[in-house]
Amino acid sequence: MQNVLVSGAGVAGLTLAYWLRRNGFAATVVERAPAVRPGGQAIDVRGAALGVLDRSGILDEARAARTRLRGMAMLDGEGNETWRSTEMTMSGGRLDSPDIELLREDLTALMHRQAMGAGVEFVYDDSVTTLDDGPDGVRVGFERSPERTFDLVVGADGLHSKVRRLAFGPEEDYVRHLGAYLTVFSAPNFLGLDDWEIWLNHESAAGAATYCVYPVRDNSEIRITLGFKAGPLAYDHRDTGEQKALMAERLAHVGWETPRLLRAMREAPDFYFDQMAQIRMDRWTGGRTALVGDAGYCPSPLSGQGTSLALVGAYVLAGELGKRDGGGHAAAFARYETRMRPYVALNQAIAHENASGNPSEESMEKAKNGIALDG
Protein backbone atom coordinates (compact mmCIF):
# COMPACT_ATOMS: atom_id res chain seq x y z
CA MET A 1 0.00 0.00 0.00
CA GLN A 2 1.47 3.33 -1.06
CA ASN A 3 1.44 6.07 1.56
CA VAL A 4 0.62 9.67 0.70
CA LEU A 5 1.15 12.78 2.81
CA VAL A 6 -1.47 15.50 2.38
CA SER A 7 -0.56 18.93 3.76
CA GLY A 8 -3.65 20.84 4.85
CA ALA A 9 -6.97 19.80 6.41
CA GLY A 10 -9.22 22.09 4.41
CA VAL A 11 -11.81 21.05 1.83
CA ALA A 12 -9.22 19.93 -0.73
CA GLY A 13 -7.04 18.03 1.75
CA LEU A 14 -9.87 16.23 3.51
CA THR A 15 -11.55 15.25 0.24
CA LEU A 16 -8.29 14.01 -1.23
CA ALA A 17 -7.40 11.97 1.86
CA TYR A 18 -10.84 10.35 1.91
CA TRP A 19 -10.71 9.38 -1.76
CA LEU A 20 -7.12 8.17 -1.51
CA ARG A 21 -8.28 5.74 1.18
CA ARG A 22 -11.22 4.72 -0.98
CA ASN A 23 -8.74 3.99 -3.77
CA GLY A 24 -6.47 1.83 -1.65
CA PHE A 25 -3.79 4.25 -0.41
CA ALA A 26 -2.63 4.99 3.11
CA ALA A 27 -3.21 8.71 3.72
CA THR A 28 -1.76 11.02 6.37
CA VAL A 29 -2.98 14.61 6.75
CA VAL A 30 -0.72 17.15 8.48
CA GLU A 31 -2.37 20.37 9.64
CA ARG A 32 -0.75 23.42 11.23
CA ALA A 33 -3.82 24.17 13.39
CA PRO A 34 -4.58 22.09 16.50
CA ALA A 35 -7.77 20.76 14.86
CA VAL A 36 -9.83 21.20 11.71
CA ARG A 37 -10.26 24.96 11.52
CA PRO A 38 -13.62 26.48 12.58
CA GLY A 39 -15.15 29.64 11.14
CA GLY A 40 -15.05 30.91 7.60
CA GLN A 41 -17.56 32.29 5.18
CA ALA A 42 -20.45 30.60 3.45
CA ILE A 43 -19.09 28.73 0.45
CA ASP A 44 -20.77 27.37 -2.67
CA VAL A 45 -20.81 23.86 -4.12
CA ARG A 46 -21.92 23.86 -7.74
CA GLY A 47 -22.16 21.71 -10.83
CA ALA A 48 -19.68 18.85 -11.00
CA ALA A 49 -18.70 19.36 -7.35
CA LEU A 50 -22.19 18.28 -6.27
CA GLY A 51 -21.36 14.91 -7.80
CA VAL A 52 -18.27 14.67 -5.58
CA LEU A 53 -20.40 15.29 -2.47
CA ASP A 54 -22.86 12.66 -3.65
CA ARG A 55 -20.15 10.06 -4.22
CA SER A 56 -18.61 10.97 -0.87
CA GLY A 57 -21.90 10.13 0.84
CA ILE A 58 -22.63 13.58 2.25
CA LEU A 59 -24.79 15.35 -0.34
CA ASP A 60 -28.04 15.07 1.62
CA GLU A 61 -26.36 16.30 4.81
CA ALA A 62 -24.77 19.18 2.93
CA ARG A 63 -28.17 20.18 1.55
CA ALA A 64 -29.65 20.03 5.06
CA ALA A 65 -26.89 22.34 6.31
CA ARG A 66 -27.34 24.95 3.60
CA THR A 67 -27.99 28.60 4.44
CA ARG A 68 -31.64 29.68 4.59
CA LEU A 69 -31.49 33.21 3.19
CA ARG A 70 -34.69 34.78 1.82
CA GLY A 71 -32.95 37.46 -0.21
CA MET A 72 -30.68 40.47 0.03
CA ALA A 73 -30.43 44.25 0.00
CA MET A 74 -27.68 46.45 -1.43
CA LEU A 75 -26.78 49.63 0.48
CA ASP A 76 -24.64 52.65 -0.29
CA GLY A 77 -21.87 53.86 2.03
CA GLU A 78 -24.33 55.62 4.35
CA GLY A 79 -26.69 52.67 4.64
CA ASN A 80 -29.32 53.80 2.12
CA GLU A 81 -30.88 50.88 0.26
CA THR A 82 -30.27 51.06 -3.48
CA TRP A 83 -31.92 47.78 -4.51
CA ARG A 84 -33.10 44.44 -3.14
CA SER A 85 -33.91 40.95 -4.38
CA THR A 86 -35.94 38.01 -3.11
CA GLU A 87 -34.69 35.82 -5.97
CA MET A 88 -30.94 35.74 -5.33
CA THR A 89 -28.10 36.72 -3.04
CA MET A 90 -24.69 38.00 -4.05
CA SER A 91 -22.98 35.31 -1.97
CA GLY A 92 -24.91 32.28 -3.19
CA GLY A 93 -26.62 33.12 -6.48
CA ARG A 94 -30.21 32.24 -7.32
CA LEU A 95 -32.26 30.93 -4.41
CA ASP A 96 -34.02 28.38 -6.64
CA SER A 97 -30.72 26.87 -7.83
CA PRO A 98 -29.77 23.24 -7.12
CA ASP A 99 -26.36 24.57 -6.00
CA ILE A 100 -25.60 24.53 -2.27
CA GLU A 101 -24.42 27.42 -0.12
CA LEU A 102 -23.24 26.30 3.34
CA LEU A 103 -20.69 27.33 5.91
CA ARG A 104 -17.15 26.22 5.26
CA GLU A 105 -16.88 24.74 8.75
CA ASP A 106 -19.98 22.61 8.17
CA LEU A 107 -18.57 21.15 4.96
CA THR A 108 -15.16 20.45 6.50
CA ALA A 109 -16.82 18.79 9.49
CA LEU A 110 -18.66 16.41 7.15
CA MET A 111 -15.54 15.61 5.14
CA HIS A 112 -13.45 15.17 8.30
CA ARG A 113 -15.94 12.64 9.62
CA GLN A 114 -15.79 10.70 6.35
CA ALA A 115 -11.99 10.78 6.33
CA MET A 116 -11.78 9.58 9.92
CA GLY A 117 -14.18 6.77 9.16
CA ALA A 118 -12.06 5.74 6.18
CA GLY A 119 -8.95 5.40 8.37
CA VAL A 120 -7.04 8.57 7.47
CA GLU A 121 -4.21 9.43 9.89
CA PHE A 122 -4.20 13.03 11.19
CA VAL A 123 -1.21 14.95 12.57
CA TYR A 124 -2.25 18.30 14.04
CA ASP A 125 -0.25 21.29 15.27
CA ASP A 126 2.55 20.54 12.82
CA SER A 127 3.67 21.42 9.32
CA VAL A 128 6.11 20.42 6.61
CA THR A 129 9.54 22.08 6.71
CA THR A 130 11.62 20.14 4.14
CA LEU A 131 11.01 17.91 1.13
CA ASP A 132 13.70 15.62 -0.23
CA ASP A 133 12.18 14.11 -3.37
CA GLY A 134 14.08 10.98 -4.43
CA PRO A 135 13.56 8.06 -6.80
CA ASP A 136 11.99 5.88 -4.10
CA GLY A 137 10.02 8.40 -2.05
CA VAL A 138 9.93 11.82 -0.45
CA ARG A 139 11.76 12.34 2.82
CA VAL A 140 9.70 14.89 4.73
CA GLY A 141 10.86 17.03 7.64
CA PHE A 142 8.32 18.46 10.09
CA GLU A 143 8.37 21.26 12.65
CA ARG A 144 7.61 18.91 15.53
CA SER A 145 7.36 15.31 14.33
CA PRO A 146 10.27 13.06 13.34
CA GLU A 147 11.17 12.79 9.65
CA ARG A 148 9.16 10.31 7.61
CA THR A 149 9.28 8.99 4.07
CA PHE A 150 6.18 8.96 1.87
CA ASP A 151 5.62 7.62 -1.61
CA LEU A 152 3.88 10.87 -2.61
CA VAL A 153 3.28 14.34 -1.13
CA VAL A 154 0.34 16.58 -2.01
CA GLY A 155 0.08 20.24 -1.05
CA ALA A 156 -3.50 21.16 -0.19
CA ASP A 157 -2.34 24.01 2.01
CA GLY A 158 -3.95 27.00 0.38
CA LEU A 159 -2.91 30.28 -1.18
CA HIS A 160 0.30 30.48 0.89
CA SER A 161 1.21 26.81 0.35
CA LYS A 162 4.45 25.76 1.99
CA VAL A 163 4.57 22.60 -0.14
CA ARG A 164 4.38 24.75 -3.28
CA ARG A 165 7.23 26.93 -2.06
CA LEU A 166 9.43 23.96 -1.18
CA ALA A 167 8.73 21.99 -4.37
CA PHE A 168 8.12 24.65 -7.02
CA GLY A 169 9.69 27.90 -5.84
CA PRO A 170 8.74 31.20 -4.19
CA GLU A 171 5.16 32.34 -3.86
CA GLU A 172 5.69 35.56 -5.78
CA ASP A 173 6.33 33.55 -8.95
CA TYR A 174 2.71 32.34 -8.96
CA VAL A 175 0.48 34.85 -7.16
CA ARG A 176 -1.57 37.23 -9.31
CA HIS A 177 -3.02 40.02 -7.18
CA LEU A 178 -6.57 41.09 -8.13
CA GLY A 179 -6.62 44.53 -6.55
CA ALA A 180 -8.44 43.95 -3.26
CA TYR A 181 -8.21 42.55 0.28
CA LEU A 182 -10.86 40.92 2.45
CA THR A 183 -11.48 39.61 5.93
CA VAL A 184 -14.03 37.10 7.22
CA PHE A 185 -15.12 36.64 10.84
CA SER A 186 -18.06 35.68 13.08
CA ALA A 187 -20.08 37.73 15.56
CA PRO A 188 -23.38 37.59 17.45
CA ASN A 189 -26.30 38.80 15.34
CA PHE A 190 -26.37 42.31 16.82
CA LEU A 191 -27.99 43.62 13.61
CA GLY A 192 -31.06 41.42 14.09
CA LEU A 193 -30.92 40.05 10.56
CA ASP A 194 -33.65 37.49 9.83
CA ASP A 195 -32.45 35.19 7.02
CA TRP A 196 -31.56 38.34 5.09
CA GLU A 197 -28.23 39.29 3.51
CA ILE A 198 -26.87 42.84 3.48
CA TRP A 199 -24.28 44.13 1.02
CA LEU A 200 -22.76 47.60 1.25
CA ASN A 201 -20.78 49.21 -1.56
CA HIS A 202 -18.93 52.48 -1.04
CA GLU A 203 -16.92 54.49 -3.55
CA SER A 204 -15.20 57.74 -2.58
CA ALA A 205 -11.95 59.65 -2.87
CA ALA A 206 -10.96 58.15 0.51
CA GLY A 207 -11.08 54.66 -0.98
CA ALA A 208 -13.43 51.97 -2.26
CA ALA A 209 -14.83 49.44 0.18
CA THR A 210 -17.49 46.77 0.21
CA TYR A 211 -18.84 44.25 2.64
CA CYS A 212 -21.37 41.49 3.11
CA VAL A 213 -23.21 40.46 6.30
CA TYR A 214 -25.59 37.50 6.62
CA PRO A 215 -27.07 35.49 9.50
CA VAL A 216 -26.32 31.82 10.24
CA ARG A 217 -27.12 29.27 12.96
CA ASP A 218 -30.87 30.09 13.03
CA ASN A 219 -30.09 33.81 12.99
CA SER A 220 -28.09 33.65 16.23
CA GLU A 221 -24.80 34.60 14.53
CA ILE A 222 -23.64 36.63 11.58
CA ARG A 223 -20.75 36.08 9.20
CA ILE A 224 -19.08 39.30 8.12
CA THR A 225 -16.88 39.81 5.06
CA LEU A 226 -15.20 43.21 4.81
CA GLY A 227 -13.12 44.28 1.84
CA PHE A 228 -11.28 47.20 0.29
CA LYS A 229 -9.57 47.89 -3.02
CA ALA A 230 -5.79 48.31 -3.04
CA GLY A 231 -2.70 47.27 -4.91
CA PRO A 232 -0.22 44.82 -3.34
CA LEU A 233 0.49 45.69 0.31
CA ALA A 234 3.32 44.55 2.55
CA TYR A 235 2.07 42.85 5.72
CA ASP A 236 2.68 39.74 7.81
CA HIS A 237 0.05 37.17 6.83
CA ARG A 238 0.37 35.55 10.27
CA ASP A 239 0.03 38.77 12.33
CA THR A 240 -3.73 39.14 12.92
CA GLY A 241 -3.26 42.32 14.98
CA GLU A 242 -1.58 44.05 12.04
CA GLN A 243 -4.28 42.80 9.67
CA LYS A 244 -7.13 44.04 11.88
CA ALA A 245 -5.49 47.46 12.17
CA LEU A 246 -5.09 47.62 8.38
CA MET A 247 -8.75 46.74 7.78
CA ALA A 248 -9.94 49.26 10.38
CA GLU A 249 -7.84 52.01 8.80
CA ARG A 250 -9.12 51.31 5.29
CA LEU A 251 -12.81 51.26 6.34
CA ALA A 252 -12.74 54.12 8.86
CA HIS A 253 -14.44 56.50 6.42
CA VAL A 254 -17.41 54.22 5.66
CA GLY A 255 -20.76 54.93 7.33
CA TRP A 256 -23.81 52.89 8.43
CA GLU A 257 -22.89 50.10 10.89
CA THR A 258 -19.20 50.01 9.94
CA PRO A 259 -17.91 51.15 13.39
CA ARG A 260 -19.83 48.33 15.11
CA LEU A 261 -18.64 45.80 12.57
CA LEU A 262 -15.03 46.90 13.10
CA ARG A 263 -15.45 46.56 16.88
CA ALA A 264 -16.83 43.05 16.33
CA MET A 265 -13.81 42.27 14.16
CA ARG A 266 -11.43 43.16 16.99
CA GLU A 267 -13.28 40.76 19.33
CA ALA A 268 -13.96 37.97 16.81
CA PRO A 269 -13.23 34.38 17.91
CA ASP A 270 -12.18 33.56 14.35
CA PHE A 271 -10.51 35.82 11.81
CA TYR A 272 -9.25 35.43 8.25
CA PHE A 273 -7.54 38.11 6.18
CA ASP A 274 -5.86 37.91 2.80
CA GLN A 275 -5.55 39.44 -0.62
CA MET A 276 -7.87 38.67 -3.49
CA ALA A 277 -5.52 36.67 -5.69
CA GLN A 278 -5.18 33.79 -8.09
CA ILE A 279 -2.46 31.17 -8.33
CA ARG A 280 -1.26 30.64 -11.89
CA MET A 281 1.18 27.79 -12.59
CA ASP A 282 2.41 26.00 -15.71
CA ARG A 283 2.43 22.72 -13.79
CA TRP A 284 0.95 21.45 -10.54
CA THR A 285 3.04 18.29 -10.34
CA GLY A 286 6.73 17.44 -10.30
CA GLY A 287 8.60 14.34 -9.21
CA ARG A 288 6.56 12.77 -6.43
CA THR A 289 4.84 16.01 -5.38
CA ALA A 290 1.53 17.51 -6.51
CA LEU A 291 -0.73 20.45 -5.63
CA VAL A 292 -4.50 20.54 -5.33
CA GLY A 293 -7.09 23.26 -4.71
CA ASP A 294 -5.98 26.80 -3.85
CA ALA A 295 -2.34 25.69 -3.48
CA GLY A 296 -2.19 24.99 -7.21
CA TYR A 297 -4.96 26.97 -8.86
CA CYS A 298 -6.75 29.34 -6.48
CA PRO A 299 -9.41 31.16 -8.53
CA SER A 300 -10.03 33.78 -5.77
CA PRO A 301 -13.33 34.35 -3.92
CA LEU A 302 -14.40 36.52 -6.87
CA SER A 303 -15.07 33.32 -8.81
CA GLY A 304 -17.39 31.73 -6.26
CA GLN A 305 -15.86 28.45 -7.42
CA GLY A 306 -12.90 27.86 -5.11
CA THR A 307 -14.65 25.16 -3.09
CA SER A 308 -15.92 23.39 -6.19
CA LEU A 309 -12.43 23.43 -7.72
CA ALA A 310 -11.01 21.97 -4.49
CA LEU A 311 -13.59 19.18 -4.36
CA VAL A 312 -13.29 18.23 -8.01
CA GLY A 313 -9.49 18.53 -8.13
CA ALA A 314 -9.08 16.29 -5.09
CA TYR A 315 -11.50 13.70 -6.49
CA VAL A 316 -9.83 13.67 -9.92
CA LEU A 317 -6.30 13.40 -8.50
CA ALA A 318 -7.23 10.54 -6.18
CA GLY A 319 -9.04 8.79 -9.01
CA GLU A 320 -6.16 9.04 -11.44
CA LEU A 321 -3.72 7.73 -8.83
CA GLY A 322 -6.09 4.88 -8.09
CA LYS A 323 -6.20 3.57 -11.66
CA ARG A 324 -2.86 1.74 -11.29
CA ASP A 325 -2.58 1.12 -15.02
CA GLY A 326 1.16 0.51 -15.05
CA GLY A 327 2.19 4.11 -15.65
CA GLY A 328 2.75 4.89 -11.97
CA HIS A 329 2.29 8.23 -10.31
CA ALA A 330 3.91 10.16 -13.19
CA ALA A 331 1.24 9.01 -15.63
CA ALA A 332 -1.49 9.70 -13.06
CA PHE A 333 -0.15 13.21 -12.48
CA ALA A 334 -0.12 13.85 -16.24
CA ARG A 335 -3.76 12.74 -16.57
CA TYR A 336 -4.73 14.92 -13.62
CA GLU A 337 -3.14 17.96 -15.26
CA THR A 338 -4.78 17.21 -18.62
CA ARG A 339 -8.25 16.77 -17.16
CA MET A 340 -8.15 19.72 -14.77
CA ARG A 341 -6.51 22.40 -16.97
CA PRO A 342 -9.62 23.36 -19.00
CA TYR A 343 -11.84 23.31 -15.90
CA VAL A 344 -9.43 25.51 -13.94
CA ALA A 345 -9.13 27.95 -16.85
CA LEU A 346 -12.91 28.38 -17.03
CA ASN A 347 -13.19 28.99 -13.30
CA GLN A 348 -10.31 31.43 -13.08
CA ALA A 349 -11.76 33.37 -16.03
CA ILE A 350 -15.15 33.75 -14.30
CA ALA A 351 -13.43 35.67 -11.47
CA HIS A 352 -12.40 38.39 -13.91
CA GLU A 353 -15.93 38.57 -15.31
CA ASN A 354 -17.34 38.96 -11.80
CA ALA A 355 -14.74 41.62 -10.94
CA SER A 356 -15.75 43.63 -14.00
CA GLY A 357 -19.41 43.51 -12.98
CA ASN A 358 -20.39 41.75 -16.20
CA PRO A 359 -20.72 38.03 -15.42
CA SER A 360 -22.80 35.96 -17.79
CA GLU A 361 -24.97 32.96 -16.91
CA GLU A 362 -23.44 31.09 -19.84
CA SER A 363 -19.90 31.56 -18.49
CA MET A 364 -20.94 30.41 -15.02
CA GLU A 365 -22.66 27.31 -16.38
CA LYS A 366 -19.53 26.41 -18.32
CA ALA A 367 -17.38 26.98 -15.24
CA LYS A 368 -19.64 24.87 -13.00
CA ASN A 369 -19.95 21.95 -15.37
CA GLY A 370 -16.73 22.11 -17.36
CA ILE A 371 -15.51 18.64 -16.37
CA ALA A 372 -16.96 15.14 -16.34
CA LEU A 373 -16.38 12.88 -13.34
CA ASP A 374 -15.25 9.31 -13.97
CA GLY A 375 -17.50 6.41 -13.11
- Neighbouring residues of 133: CB distance < 8 A, sequence distance ≥ 6: 153, 167, 286, 287, 288, 289
Using left for φ > 0, alpha for ψ between -120 and 50, and beta otherwise, residue 206 falls in alpha
Q: List the beta bridge partners of residue 15.
A: none
CA gap 308, 311 in Å, rounded = 5
Residue 60, domain extent: 3-68+98-174+278-368
Quick one: CA torsion of 360, 365, 367, 369, rounded to 10 degrees?
Answer: 180
Measured in degrees and rounded to the nearest 5, phi and psi for residue 103 equal -70, 140
Residues 168 and 215 in one domain: no
Domain boundary among 276, 297, 312: 276
Residues 227 and 111 in one domain: no
Percentage of the chain beyond pLDDT 90 is: 87
pLDDT for res 358: 64
Positive/negative CA dihedral, 196, 351, 257, 239: positive
CA gap 105, 134 in Å, rounded = 36
pLDDT for res 13: 98
The verdict on pTM exceeding 0.75 is: yes
Would residue 224 count as lying in a domain? yes
pLDDT for res 327: 86
Do residues 46 and 99 lie in contact, with contact meaning Cβ atoms separated by under 8 Å? yes
pLDDT for res 128: 98
DSSP state of 194: -
Residues 269 and 333 in one domain: no
Domain boundary among 251, 276, 301: 276
First to last CA, the chain: 23
Domain boundary among 232, 257, 276: 276
**pLDDT lower than 50: segments of the chain:** none
- The kind and range of the H/E element at 102 are strand 100-103
Domains of the chain: total: 2
